[in-house]
Amino acid sequence: MAAFLSLHDAVARNLHDGDVVAFEGFTHLIPHAAAHEAIRQGIKELTLLRMTPDIVYDQMIGMGLARKVVFSYAGNPGVGLLRRMRDAIENSYPRAIETVEHSHSAMAQAYEAGASGLPCAVFRGYKGAGLPKVNPTIKTVICPFTGEELAAIPAHRPDVTFIHAQKASEKGDVLIEGIIGVQKEAALAARRVVVTVEEVVPSFKGLHPNLTILPHWTVDAIAVVPGGAHPSYTYGYYERDNAAYLEWDRISADREAFAAWMTENVLRVGPEVFAGRVEALR
């Protein structure tokens, strides 16, 4: 059942050293505030699942929280490379990380299989591609009717999934709108679910019946963090801070600049700063 907690407590109670964790949100609704709280709490040895590691994992990797990253596109969307993640892979700085690389289709379907309680995802994919040669978790099954060889990968079953959403009801039901990405699947695949939201409303009565909602009994903790997706965005609340994504390319290019930025903008502040960061984007 969903408990309304401070972000500090929501993270402290649900994320532990060594966990397999997904911070999901496909460009939209990326739970940056929750990731910053995990960084402040110095959680260690995490296995990070995420289709596009993006700035959110570039920061966690750069701060040394990750031992392993499972991903499908390690870029700064529309800008370029993820320089902290590259530094970890190419130079083991600040530490070596293990990587498990998939395609977007495979990652999305691994979450879908996890949400469906299945041990693996079976799909048509990877034909002729190089990843099966370097990722031993990509196997095959044979269709018993056509004999076609299909790709199979293990379902994602994170210990905990963090997402950001527009609204929670007072009961703790969660509404996600716009580019909904893989959040519903990532949440339903996880043992524990933590959601940051822009606001709490009395109830969801009167909404369209077919919206994307996580019932309160599928959610463990909810923290109200206005602006909590910044520099990602929240459809209906504030826009993507594209300038910040462009700026990140410069900050992340230099180890010292990165460290200084993280100290000033993450370690020395709290979740309350996010509301201010999106003021100009509303």
Partner 1 sequence: MTDFTPTEMMTIAAARALKNDDVCFVGIGAPSAACNVARLTHAPDITLIYESGTIGTAPDVLPLSIGDGELCETALCTVSVPEMFRYWLMGGRISIGFLGAAQLDRFGNINTTVIGDYAHPKVRLPGGGGAPEIATSCGEIFITLKQATRSMVDKIDFYTSFGHGEGGDHRRRLGITTKGPTLLITDLAIWRPDPESKEFTVTSLHRGVTRQQVQENCGWPVRFAAHVEETPEPTELELATLRDLQARTAAAHEGRA
The residues of the shown chain that bind a second copy, judged by CB under 8 A, are: 116-120, 122-124, 137, 139-146, 148, 150, 152, 154, 177-178, 180, 208-212, 235
Q: Check: CB of residue 34 under 8 Å from CB of residue 232.
A: no
CB of 42 to partner 1, least distance (A): 26
Compute the distance between CA of residue 218 and CA of residue 70 in angstroms, rounded to an integer: 24
By CB under 8 A, residue 119 contacts partner 1: no
By CB under 8 A, residue 128 contacts partner 1: yes
Report how far apart the first and last C-alpha atoms of the chain are (Å, whole number): 32
Name the residue with tokens 């401070």: 6
Compute the distance between CA of residue 141 and CA of residue 148 in angstroms, rounded to an integer: 8
Report the site for partner 1 in 166-195 (rule: CB under 8 A): 173, 178-182, 184-185, 188
By CB under 8 A, residue 202 contacts partner 1: no
CB of 45 to partner 1, least distance (A): 22
Q: Check: CB of residue 139 under 8 Å from CB of residue 102.
A: no
Q: Check: CB of residue 198 under 8 Å from CB of residue 230.
A: no
With CB under 8 A as the contact rule, the residue among 19, 37, 58, 112 that binds partner 1 is: 112
Angle, CA 90 vertex, CA 89 and CA 95 arms, to 5°: 55
Q: Which is nearer to a second copy, 99 or 212 (CB)?
A: 212
Contacted by 119, from partner 1, a second copy, none: CB < 5 to 8 Å by type: a second copy
By CB under 8 A, residue 57 contacts partner 1: no
Contacted by 44, from a second copy, partner 1, none: CB < 5 to 8 Å by type: none
Name the residue with tokens 């570039």: 58
DSSP 172: -
Compute the distance between CA of residue 110 and CA of residue 157 in angstroms, rounded to an integer: 9
String marking each residue 63-82 x if it binds partner 1 according to CB under 8 A: --------xxxxx-xxx-xx
Contacted by 140, from a second copy, partner 1, none: CB < 5 to 8 Å by type: a second copy
